[in-house]
Structure 1
Amino acid sequence: MKTLEKVNYKGFIWPIIVGIVLWCLTPIRPSGLSPQAWEMFAVFVATIVGCITKPLPIGGTTLVGLVVTVLVGLAPMKDVVNDKGVVVNQGVLSSFGNSAAWLIAMAFIMAHGISKTGLGNRIAYWMIEKFGKKSLGIGYAITGLEVILGALIPSNSARTGGVVWPVVESVAKEGYDSKPNDPSRKKIGAYIDFTAFHANILSTALFVTGAAPNMVAQQMAAQQHYEISWAGWFFAAIIPVAVCAVIVPWIIYKMYPPEIKETPDAKKWADERLKKMGPMSKPEKIMTAVFCMSLVMWVLSGFFKIPQFDATFIAFLAVSILLITGVLTMEDALKETGAWNILIWLSILMFMASKLISYGFISWFAKLVQSGLHGISWGIVLAVLVLLMFYTHYFFASGTAHMTALYLPFLSVAVATGAPLGLSAMLLAFTGAFNASTTHYANGPASILATTGYVKQGEWWKMNFVLGLVYLVIFGTIGTLWMKVIGVW
């Protein structure tokens, strides 16, 4: 006899309460906000609470939130266009055309190819051979790998999904039999999974081409007549990022210690595994070639604005080649459920965040901050703005959307109160990189690494809260002093 699937109905209680309470406050909403803006805020907050209480898996929770958005009239199903063919109201179906979500999905499928061919195992064995005497050493190795890739690949999601995650998975599973959604995850998999995420934050913060939000900040700073060059960003970031690269893996190691601390026989074991694998197989060679091609094209996409070099298109191209050459089958792609799950929930959350912007909630919030900080010294104003830039990311599933909405208003507020332009521009830009240390939906890499089964959602939020404070202190003190030394302000 068939039975119904298990649903955590208790998990619906808090999202419903929060949503209804906020919705009922619409008549007494703050002045300057339209009813639609406040109602969208209510639905969005209720959905985020649902992602925390988890009445359904996050894909199902966000899908319910999307249905509510349509039912209450805050968004149509299809785009509404005027007589001139211009979209005047974005429909929910358009959310599933989000390029960042598709990039992550394709990166997951590419990662399946790296695992299926054995290339990931080969890389993992090599890493264990070189750095595997201690688990902390593997953490530093992954951090170094990410930092190097940050200069080459202008998409933080592509770096994590296409390169780093397959290595982490192979090291954990094949190297130490540490499996996701299993007590063995604590052997080492959970530690290096979480370390890989923070390594991505550091690689993003080090280069202006490290991720799309950085380049948004660069363009918006220019509107305030401050030019951020590649070298200028790099030299401003190098010291705070270097300090973080040394202490963050160690903090994670102490806060979230792996059960396996030392593996004195790791080199011998890895050597034996590499010998057993023998020479690279044909699928491995094709996977390596496609992987290298993707790397080169991702690098070039940071310098040439050619449609065919779009990061998402490159991921589609790589997957197509893997299918044509027989490295992957369509069944392999369809079985990669993590890719399709992320495509659903990340697309929906980013759509909701875009509605908050289009209904004017974010612009109202920026003006509120500006008026509330009038007459206060610039140092306090800038500190408050950095904190707001960081903690408001709990309401965003996209760093690009967050930076687009708040960077220029916040920079304008800081400069208007007398804060140095260069310091304000760089601190707010760096905050847009490390504010990913908030939620499991904070950006693409978070969406990938928080859903692998190695780190539980509660652990992710708690540890990120601590490390968020670490970033705020290091960039706010060491970063500020360093930028004074090199003449940024």
Structure 2
Amino acid sequence: MKTLEKVNYKGFIWPLIIGIILWCITPWRPAGLSSQAWEMFAVFVATIVGCITKPLPIGGTTLVGLVVTVLVGLAPMKDVVNPKTGAVTDTGVLSAFSNSASWLIAMAFIMAYGISKTGLDNRIAYWMIRRFGKKSLGIGYAITGLELVLGALIPSNSARTGGVVWPITESISESYDSKPNSPSRKKIGAYLDFMAFHANILSTALFITGAAPNMVAQQMAQQKGYTMTWGGWFIAATVPVAVATVIIPLVIYKMFPPEIKEIPNAKKWADDRLAEMGPISKPEKIMAAVFALSIVLWVLSGFFKIPQLDSTFVAFLAVALLLVTGVLTMKDALKQTGAWNILIWLSILIFMAGKLISYGFIGWFSKLIQNGLHGISWEIVLAILVLLMFYTHYFFASGTAHMTALYLPFLSVAVATGAPLGLSAMLLAFTGAINASTTHYANGPASILATTGYVKQGEWWKMNFVLGIIYLLIFGIVGTFWMKIIGVW
């Protein structure tokens, strides 16, 4: 007998309560706001709360929010066009799915499956362990290096951790009899587990395609007139990430030292696994070549405004090449539910945020904060906003929901008080990556690595608090000066 799928109906309670309350106080909305602006705000907030309480997966939650937006008359299904001028007078919800960033990430997910299917990701991992794995600190740096490489290859930070990095660290830990939920966890497993998490933070910060929140920031910044390209983000992130890559593993090694300092068998362990894989295969070679071509074209797209070098087109080109060469099949592409899921929810959230702008809510909010901060220098305002962006993540279990809710308002406030657009856009975006150094539920990788039994929850929070301060100092000071040198502001 067939049964209904499980739905977390309790998760609808808070979105409904908050959304209805906000909607009902529309007659008493703040001065200067239209009723449509406030109603759109009510639907948007309810949707973001739903992304946190998760009555449905985020794709389903945002789809419900989109349906509500249409039902209450805040957006039509199709674009409304003036018959005389041909100009679009009201943007329809179907236009949301023409968002280039959403398609870029969807195609990147399919490319990532090619990396996994061919085994190229594991081969890279074993090569790095073989080269740097003689000491436990070296393993920590190898994991960091592995994540930085995978950050360019796999656009999902959870996929990088869950699919590649965690299985490798777990295997190394168990090979040295370091077990979770036992005193032996501190032999090496706890150190590697925690190191893997922070390596993921660094890889997320280094690439605009490192995680979905980065792409949200890109689209929100575009709505304020600032364009983030793949190459521009990478160049801006290179120096602060490089500094953090040197410092973070050392700090973790000192703060949470493994009992095993030397790992004489690491090279043999990696060699054995490479031997099991055999020589590099033709699919791996093609996959590596296609991805190398994509990286080159993504970098060039940041310097040359050629339509054919559009970042999203490059991703489509890469997937087409993988299909034509037989590395992937269309069935492989259709099976990537993560790709199609993100295409739905990212498109919808960006569309709803755009409606907040068109109805004037974001502009009103910016002026409100600007008036409240009158007389305070933009440097202090920007610093406060960065700290708020970082520490409010204690209240979010989703980096995407957090970025969608706060990035655009914060960026608008920073610019309104005189802060340079480029600096504000990049600093707030980077903060959306490093604020994972907070809780055990901060993002997908945290949920994976904090529940393995190697690191206790109290240890996770305490060490992340210290490392969070280090991240803020590195990106706030080193990152700001570096972006000044390269002309971001």
Q: Is the 8 A contact 2:297 2:314 kept in 1?
A: yes
- Secondary structure in structure 1 of the residue aligned to 2:196: helix
Residue 14 of structure 1 and its aligned partner are, at CA, apart by 0.9
Distance (whole Å) between structure 2 residues aligned to residue 130 and residue 41 of structure 1: 53
For 2:104 and 2:487, how far apart are their aligned partners in 1?
38
In structure 2, the CA distance between the partners of 1:46 and 1:414, relative to structure 1 (3 Å rule), is same
Structure 1 length-normalised TM:
0.74
Counterpart Cα distance in 2 of 1:348 and 1:144: 34
Paired residue type of 2:103: W
Aligned partners of 1:66 and 1:92 also within 8 Å: yes
> Are the equivalent residues in 2 in contact too, given 1:357–1:405 (CA < 8 A)?
no
- What is the match of residue 152 of structure 1? none
Distance 2:103 2:484 in 1: 41
SS at match of 1:435: helix
Q: In the alignment, which of 412, 428, 431 is matched to residue 431 of structure 1?
A: 428
Q: 1:192 aligns with which of 191, 196, 211?
A: 196
The answer to which of 101-110 and 237-246 deviates more is: 237-246
Q: Which 10-residue stretch deviates more, 475-484 or 430-439?
A: 475-484
Q: Give the Cα separation in 2 of the matches to 1:50 and 1:260.
A: 44
1:269 aligns with 2:269: yes
Deviation, 1:323, is 1.0
CA-CA distance at 1:165 after TM superposition: 5.7
- Contact preservation (8 Å) 1:362, 1:406: no
Letter in 2 for 1:433: F
Shift of 1:126: 0.6
- Asked whether the equivalents of residues 389 and 428 of structure 1 are also in contact (C-alpha less than 8 Å), the reply is no
Q: Counterpart of 1:88 in 2: which secondary structure?
A: strand
Give distance in 2, aligned partners of 1:220 and 1:3: 47
* C-alpha contact (below 8 Å) 1:120/1:167 kept by paired residues: no
Deviation of the 1:192 alpha carbon: 2.6
Distance in 2, matches of 1:381 and 1:289, equals 45
Whether the aligned pair in 1 keeps the contact of 2:26 and 2:35 (CA below 8 Å) is yes
Q: In the TM superposition, what is the alpha-carbon distance from 1:29 to its structure 2 partner?
A: 1.2
Secondary structure of the 1:74 match is coil
CA distance in 1, matches of 2:149, 2:26: 49
Kindly report which structure 2 residues correspond to 1:124-143, keeping only aligned pairs within 5 A, or say none: 124-133=125-134, 137-141=138-142, 143=144
CA contact (8 A) 2:105 2:339 kept: yes
Change (3 A) 1:473 1:198: same
Deviation, structure 1 residue 372: 0.8
The 2-side partners of 1:159 and 1:302 are apart by: 18
Asked if 1:173 corresponds to 2:167, the answer is yes
Distance in structure 1 (CA, Å) of the matches to 2:260 and 2:363: 49
Counterpart position of 2:280: 280
Listed one character per residue, the Cα deviations across residues 76-120 of structure 1 (whole Å, up to 9, x for unaligned) are 111112222222222111111211111111111111111111222
| Residue 379 of structure 1: how far off its partner (Å) | 5.6
- Distance in 1 (alpha carbons) for counterparts of 2:284 and 2:16: 50
Q: What is the correspondence of 1:318-337 to structure 2 with a 5 Å cutoff?
A: 318-337=318-337
Does the residue aligned with 1:11 lie in a helix, a strand or coil?
helix
Report Cα offsets for 1:427-482 as digits up to 9, x if no partner.
66423332344589xxxxx99x65996678xx9x9798886655444444666789
* Between 466-475 and 327-336, the greater mean CA deviation after superposition: 466-475
Unaligned 5+ residue runs, structure 2? 173-179, 182-188, 209-213, 452-456
* One-letter identity of the residue aligned with 2:268: K
Instruction: Note the alpha carbon deviations across 1:181-226, whole angstroms, 9 max, x for none.
Output: xx99x9867853553233331566xxxxx9896899799899xxxx
User: In the alignment, what sits opposite 2:211?
Assistant: none
Residues 1:487 and 1:398: Cα distance change in structure 2 (over 3 Å): closer
**8 Å contact 1:125–1:271 — kept in the other structure?**
yes
CA contact (8 A) 1:213 1:433 kept: no
* Residues paired across the two proteins, number: 449
Q: Distance in 2 between matches of 1:311 and 1:135?
A: 39
Alignment of 1:223-302 (within 5 A): 241-249=241-249, 264-302=264-302
**Cα pair 2:62 2:349 within 8 Å, conserved:** yes
Q: Distance in 1 between matches of 2:205 and 2:315?
A: 21
* One-letter amino acid of the counterpart of residue 41, structure 1: F
Provide the C-alpha distance between the structure 1 equivalents of 2:488 and 2:299, rounded to a whole number of angstroms. Answer: 28
Shift of the 167–413 alpha-carbon distance from structure 1 to 2, 3 Å rule, reads closer
Cα deviation, 1:45-78, whole Å, max 9, x if unaligned, reads 1111111111111111111111111111111111
* Cα distance, 1:172 vs structure 2: 3.2
Q: 1:316 to 1:269 in 2, by over 3 A?
A: same
Name the counterpart of 1:106.
Answer: 107
* 1:33 counterpart SS class: coil
**Native 8 Å contact 1:36 1:359 kept in 2:** yes
Write the distance in 2 (CA, Å) between the matches of 1:484 and 1:337: 40
Coordinate RMSD, CA, aligned: 4.8
Q: Which residue of 1 aligns with 2:185?
A: none
Distance (whole Å) between structure 1 residues aligned to residue 40 and residue 169 of structure 2: 47
2:49 aligns with: 49
> Does structure 2 retain, via aligned residues, the 8 Å contact 1:125–1:175?
no
* Percentage identity across paired residues of the two chains: 63
Pair 271,484 (structure 1): closer, same or farther in 2 beyond 3 Å? closer
8 Å CA contact 2:157–2:445 kept in 1: the answer is no
2:155 aligned residue (137, 149, 161) = 161
Question: Is 2:418 the counterpart of 1:414?
Answer: yes
